[in-house]
A and B are shown apart, each in its own frame.
Chain A
Amino acid sequence: MVELRNITKDMMTVVEGSYAVAHATKVCKPNVISAYPITPQTHIVEELSQFIADGEIENCDYINVESEFSALSTLVGSSATGARTYSSTTSQGLALMHEVLFNASGMRLPIVVTVVNRALSAPINIWNDQQDSVSERDSGWIQLYAEDVQEAADMVAQAYKVGEDPDVMLPVMVCMDGFLLSHVYEPVVLLEEDLIDDYLLPFDPKYKLDPKDPKTFGAFAPPASYTEFRYAQEQAMSAALDKIEKAADDFYDVFGRYYGGLIDEYKTDDADIIIMAKGSIIGTIRDVIDNLRENGVKVGLLKVRALRPFPKDAIKEVVKDSSVVITLDKNISPGVNEGALCTETKACMYNSDINVPVIGYMIGLGGRDIPEDTIENIVDEAKEVINSGISTESQFTDLREDLI
């Protein structure tokens, strides 16, 4: 359950989502920021450029590069020397980083990248969905999803805390919905500069490129040892499960704000119907739940904050006593006709003694609006599932028949 402790109006300021994230990044004291400055981008790197020009980030290099491929490649080099590194990107930019994503995670470099979620081409579409980051869920990066601007900003600090943990050492994507969060102005508490040292230790990796103690990064691993590198990455992901929870708890202790750990719950205790989703759609779902609860519908929310590592146990614990689970996905794996939450939630319940039906909906693709009515209709369909079983396991939402 989201908790905000001791927050008063005078602590808050109204800023654009991109500014709040840039400010939080500044407070986390990165050493190297590398970015391709243009579309698909946001104001995040422009704000950071301003901070650096104004001398507000000490000991930090800001590098403008010619492509997103270069942006992340630069950070791979910087991070290997022990620098705290940051970039932000979105959609096509993240897709262009694809090859480097595996490089960063394989070398165990805890780079933090804010991914402003937007649709992928073709056709050309600049609006929000989550196909970009979801498509990279096998890249070995931790993926966290924020519900609102405050969480997206605070999550940057949590990302460094988790990623740089010696038991983890993995890069982290902080995902926030494009436009709906990045370009919206909301009242937020800007991440407190005077408290950050109580939360985040300086980055001091065990292995780094240092002339005094030469090391090799990214060398050859033949069949005799490659599997063990992959195994070690998986072990680190497993370790990250607890670390993400702890990073959220510690954040609450220091800053007084809490948004959930791996997941968050809202009115799930007695819920027959549980709606699972991630990102900014969560706010709409909370409102829908409040409305439906007034009419006696026992519906609750399971907010997924971490897609990687996937919080199987936490999810199972929440849904085990429910009657039906709805997954809402702003992405699709064509050929499976399902979004990631649908496929993975079903998978984690198989081979267990939980037998709760899961129905999936692809929703809000390419920035299509998601009105409350749409979610209410989905809940109505879930009620039918309770009564008479699944008729359609996974489907597109609000399809325009006139265009098909």
Chain B
Amino acid sequence: MTSKGDYKNKVEIEWCPGCGNFGILTSIKNALSGLDIPPHKILIVSGIGQSGKLPHYLRCNVFNGLHGRAIPPAIGAKVSNHDLNVIAVGGDGDMYGEGGNHFIHAVRRNPNITVIVHDNQIYGLTKGQASPTSDIGMKTKVQKHGVMHTPFNSLATAISLDCTFVSRGFAGDVKHLSGIIKQAIEHKGLSLVDVLQPCVTFNRLNTFKWYKERVYKLEETDYNPNDKTKAFEKSMEWGDNIPIGVFYKREGKPTFEDNLPVLESRTLVDQETDPSMADELMDGFT
């Protein structure tokens, strides 16, 4: 049995005291130990941002790539070694801004990976500019007159593309978030966990208190996460009441790897190549 301590990396954590990221880090450890996945069977991929540091604080395989680009290398690793549990983490700017195109097309492909988004509705690493999910009207040092553009609704986007697991957690409710991440990792297909993550330093609007007063759990209502149309409708709910939990779940859709015949028998990394098998073909050219 693995325990939470097995995933702890002895590195000084460089997040602000009280950052919502701590709740996400703890929840990921809880989920991994709950599923009893040993560290060497986990790959966490990140981009650039405060979220990009998360894998540094975990004991497992780590790949830290470019801003916005966590998903493509995550898919690349998954198809090469589909025995790995692959988790891509990123922020709202990382996954939905510069990496938005990757996010959209990854959902379409449905690789069996988990995408966890630290959604603090602000650019934190760079000290407080509006992100793709900032609420309209939020004033920042760049958006002097307030944000004018419609926030990116990742849940609605994912549902519209038939993402097979669409969820939202809150970094201030670790127990609940741990459960969602656990389900997401267990799910076969691309699972999205958008996490409301208060940025205690730069986002003075969407604070712990602000979220706490608004979030409610879908599973505590009579909500059914298997109805795509209802899920789409639910994903539009934002403001005085913010739903958290699993919005949409669909089993049985083939994953990206299922559609690759070469992966049927074993992972690519375990497959041996025998150049002599090409001899017969080569003979055809002589």
Q: Which positions in A face B, CB cutoff 8 Å?
A: 36-39, 41, 45-46, 49-50, 52-53, 64, 66-67, 92, 96, 121-122, 124
Contacts of A96 in B (CB 8 A): 98
Report if A124-B98 is in contact (Cβ < 8 Å); known contacts: A37-B142, A38-B126, A92-B66: no
Contact pattern, B 5-23, Cβ under 8 Å of A = 1, otherwise 0 = 0000000000000000000
Expressed in whole angstroms, the minimum distance between the Cβ of B46 and any Cβ of chain A is 11
| Contact sample, A vs B, 13 pairs, CB 8 Å cutoff | A37-B123, A37-B126, A37-B129, A38-B123, A39-B48, A39-B125, A49-B144, A50-B141, A52-B144, A64-B130, A64-B143, A67-B97, A124-B64
What is the chain A residue whose CB lies nearest that of B126? A38
Expressed in whole angstroms, the minimum distance between the Cβ of B172 and any Cβ of chain A is 25
What is the chain B residue whose CB lies nearest that of A38? B126
In B80-111, which residues have CB < 8 Å from any A CB?
93, 97-98, 100
When the two chains form their complex, are residues B145 and A53 in contact, meaning their CB atoms are under 8 A apart? yes
A92 CB contact (under 8 Å) in B67, B97, B143: B67
Contacts of B48 in A (CB 8 A): 39, 92, 124
Contacts of A124 in B (CB 8 A): 48, 64
CA distance A52 to B145 in the complex (A): 10
Say yes or no: is B169 at the interface (Cβ < 8 Å to chain A). no
Pick the 6 closest A-B CB pairs, nearest first. A53-B144, A38-B126, A37-B129, A37-B142, A66-B97, A67-B98
Contacts of B145 in A (CB 8 A): 53
Contacts of B66 in A (CB 8 A): 92, 121
B100 CB contact (under 8 Å) in A39, A52, A66: A66
Contacts of A38 in B (CB 8 A): 93, 123, 125-126, 129
Contacts of B67 in A (CB 8 A): 39, 92
CA distance A67 to B95 in the complex (A): 12
When the two chains form their complex, are residues B142 and A49 in contact, meaning their CB atoms are under 8 A apart? yes
CA distance A9 to B48 in the complex (A): 43
Expressed in whole angstroms, the minimum distance between the Cβ of B51 and any Cβ of chain A is 13
Say yes or no: is B68 at the interface (Cβ < 8 Å to chain A). yes
Q: A38-B93, A39-B67, A67-B68 are in contact. List 8 more A-B contacts (CB 8 A).
A: A37-B130, A39-B125, A41-B126, A46-B142, A49-B142, A49-B144, A66-B97, A121-B66
CA distance A124 to B130 in the complex (A): 24
Of the four ranges (under 10, 10 to 19, 20 to 34, 35 or more), the interface on chain B belongs to 20 to 34
What is the chain B residue whose CB lies nearest that of A39? B126
CA distance A66 to B130 in the complex (A): 11
Contact pattern, B 226-248, Cβ under 8 Å of A = 1, otherwise 0 = 00000000000000000000000
Residue with the highest number of chain B CB atoms closer than 10 Å, among A38, A45, A64: A38
Expressed in whole angstroms, the minimum distance between the Cβ of A94 and any Cβ of chain B is 13
Expressed in whole angstroms, the minimum distance between the Cβ of A403 and any Cβ of chain B is 20
What is the chain A residue whose CB lies nearest that of B147? A64
CA distance A52 to B97 in the complex (A): 24
What is the chain B residue whose CB lies nearest that of A36? B98
Say yes or no: is B132 at the interface (Cβ < 8 Å to chain A). yes
CA distance A75 to B126 in the complex (A): 24
Expressed in whole angstroms, the minimum distance between the Cβ of A67 and any Cβ of chain B is 5
When the two chains form their complex, are residues B141 and A46 in contact, meaning their CB atoms are under 8 A apart? yes
A66 CB contact (under 8 Å) in B64, B98, B141: B98
In B132-177, which residues have CB < 8 Å from any A CB?
132, 141-145
Expressed in whole angstroms, the minimum distance between the Cβ of B98 and any Cβ of chain A is 5
When the two chains form their complex, are residues A49 and B68 in contact, meaning their CB atoms are under 8 A apart? no
Contacts of B100 in A (CB 8 A): 66
CA distance A172 to B156 in the complex (A): 42
CA distance A295 to B168 in the complex (A): 70
When the two chains form their complex, are residues A49 and B132 in contact, meaning their CB atoms are under 8 A apart? no
Contact pattern, B 64-86, Cβ under 8 Å of A = 1, otherwise 0 = 11111000000000000000000
Expressed in whole angstroms, the minimum distance between the Cβ of B199 and any Cβ of chain A is 13
Contacts of B129 in A (CB 8 A): 37-38, 46
What is the chain A residue whose CB lies nearest that of B93? A38
What is the chain B residue whose CB lies nearest that of A64? B142
In B181-229, which residues have CB < 8 Å from any A CB?
none
Expressed in whole angstroms, the minimum distance between the Cβ of A66 and any Cβ of chain B is 5
CA distance A38 to B66 in the complex (A): 14
Contacts of A39 in B (CB 8 A): 48, 67, 123, 125-126
Expressed in whole angstroms, the minimum distance between the Cβ of A368 and any Cβ of chain B is 22
When the two chains form their complex, are residues A45 and B142 in contact, meaning their CB atoms are under 8 A apart? yes
Contacts of A67 in B (CB 8 A): 68, 97-98
